[in-house]
Amino acid sequence: MICAIALRFNSTKVVEMKIGFIGLGNMGKAMANVLLQKYPDLVVYNRTRSAADELEQAGAQVANSPIEVARQCEVVITMLSNDAVVEAVTLGDEGLSAGLAKDAIHISMSSISPNLSKQLAQHHAQAGQAYFAAPVFGRPDVAAKGNLWIVAGGNNDQIEHCRSILEAMSRGISIVSTDPSLANLVKITGNFTITAVMETLGETFALMQKSGIEPQAFLQVLNQVYQSPMYESYGTQIAQQRFDPALFALKLGLKDIRLVRQVADEADVPMPLVNLVYEHMLSAIAHGRAEQEWSSFAQVNAENAGLK
């Protein structure tokens, strides 16, 4: 059972801890920059060394491997692109687990499969280390302002111990379970609900355009009715076909939808809409949109309607 506790943070207290951050993509770099403001001895690592240059100039320490990060830190955060990378960074010969001290904490903030999250929790427990999942909702521009929403799952004492770290990056947190994997389930399923909005917008914009109403004009109505930042943001992207540069690439969105389909299959839960979104995403990638903003898959509806 998931029991969500939503907390908004106002505390300015910072607990003294040496923190490491692994993964400096669009999201990771924004999050690490925010952390560096409160934890000036932050240790960072990225497979492509140049991604750490900006943080190093701001005062962060740059490590040469995940194990080197872990050897220096009480808490190590990972923000990585997929299961394979998280597994390699955590469990490899030079992985963070090999360098993490007893009772030190790994916070996985990546969007990964619930199955891998279970595996990581078991591995760290056997090694005498702590682990909890804390994936996030929000784009890099939101992360840069410290306004993410965090979904946490794991041991409550461990989450509480890291409260100041989570506060630094977010406007609030939902603690959904003592099982870390359920936080990952909430995250990937939440991403599916976002793509469902995109699919709806793509379909309705195609109908509006073929009927003689500009998508942007229809979006203005929706914005008045729903007053939703999600409709406004993604609706504008789709209506204006503004998909470059990507803050969250379509290929990463497809990864999350694949994970939702896998979990739904394992749970014997029919999800017809997730299958439709998956097919439209796959079609968009086949037509060269993999590196575009993930909302670009909604254009498949326009193309299917014979629109350019």
Flag whether pLDDT at 12 surpasses 90: no
Same domain, 44 and 150: yes
- pLDDT (average), residues 125-130: 98
What is d(CA 16, CA 100) in angstroms, rounded to the nearest whole number? 18
Same domain, 73 and 191: no
Catalytic residue among 29, 145, 187, 255: 187
Same domain, 123 and 93: yes
Q: What phi, psi does 147 have (nearest 5°)?
A: -115, 25
Check residue 16 and give its pLDDT: 74
Flag whether pLDDT at 138 surpasses 60: yes
Task: Give the DSSP per-residue string, 132-160.
Answer: EE--EES-HHHHTTT-EEEEEES-HHHHH
Question: Cβ–Cβ contacts within 10 Å for residue 74, how many?
Answer: 19
Summarised one tens digit per residue, pLDDT across range 140-194 is 999 999 999 999 999 999 999 999 999 999 999 999 999 999 999 999 999 999 9
187 is catalytic: yes
Q: Which helix (H) or strand (E) holds 199?
A: helix 180-211
Same domain, 166 and 235: no
Q: How would residue 80 be classed by pLDDT, with cut points 50, 70 and 90?
A: very high
Same domain, 204 and 294: yes
- pLDDT (average), residues 60-78: 98
Same domain, 173 and 111: yes
State whether the Cα torsion 272-277-278-283 is positive or negative. positive
Same domain, 224 and 270: yes
CATH code for the domain in which residue 121 is found: 3.40.50.720
What is d(CA 134, CA 174) in angstroms, rounded to the nearest whole number? 9
Same domain, 157 and 262: no
Beta strand 105-108 with 136-137 is unpaired
Check residue 197 and give its pLDDT: 97
Same domain, 82 and 169: yes
Same domain, 109 and 236: no
**Could you tell me if 7 and 172 are in contact, meaning their C-beta atoms sit under 8 angstroms apart?**
yes
Flag whether pLDDT at 2 surpasses 60: no
User: Per residue, what are the HEC states of 259-280?
Assistant: HHHHHHHHCCCCCHHHHHHHHH
User: What is the residue range of 34's domain?
Assistant: 5-178
Summarised one tens digit per residue, pLDDT across range 246-271 is 999 999 999 999 999 999 999 999 99
**Could you tell me if 96 and 75 are in contact, meaning their C-beta atoms sit under 8 angstroms apart?**
no
- pLDDT (average), residues 41-66: 96
Same domain, 100 and 32: yes
Q: Is 39 helix (H, G, I), strand (E, B) or coil?
A: coil
Check residue 167 and give its pLDDT: 95
Check residue 308 and give its pLDDT: 79
- pLDDT (average), residues 101-119: 98
Residue of 246, 199, 201 lying closest to 219 (CA atoms): 201
